[in-house]
Each structure stands twice: as C-alpha cells, then as structure tokens.
Amino acid sequence: MPHDAELVAETRGWFIRAANDLRAGEIDLGAGPPLTTDVVSMLSKRQRKP
C-alpha cells in the first residue's frame, strides 16, 4: 500500500483526539467526587460520531 499523507494526517488527528478524551476521562474520574456524568456524556457523543 503506498504512503498516503492525507490518510496519515487524518489518522494522527484521531489518535490525538482519542488521547485527549482518555486524559479528560482520567481527570473527570479522578475528581472528588468523580464527574461520572461528564464521562458518560463524552463517551456517548464519541460513540455516535462516524
């Protein structure tokens, strides 16, 4: 498969967003008390995106 710079950039963007989502979840769950509604809402929104 030939190198596709546009595909690489798009994939990299998805990984960056996923890493940010994981970090936000860790922060929300680490709060006292945990912000579980934020985590559930974020996961629900991500699940609906293509």
Closest listed residue to residue 36, CA positions, set 44, 26, 28: 28
The predicted model scores a pTM of 0.64
Show the low-confidence residues of the chain (pLDDT under 70).
Answer: 49-50
**Using an 8 Å Cβ cutoff, are 42 and 21 in contact?**
yes
N residues, the chain: 50
Quote the pLDDT of residue 49: 64
The pLDDT of residue 28 is: 82
Please state whether the peptide bond connecting residue 33 to the residue before it is cis, i.e. omega within 30 degrees of 0: yes
- The tokens of 20 are what? 């940010």
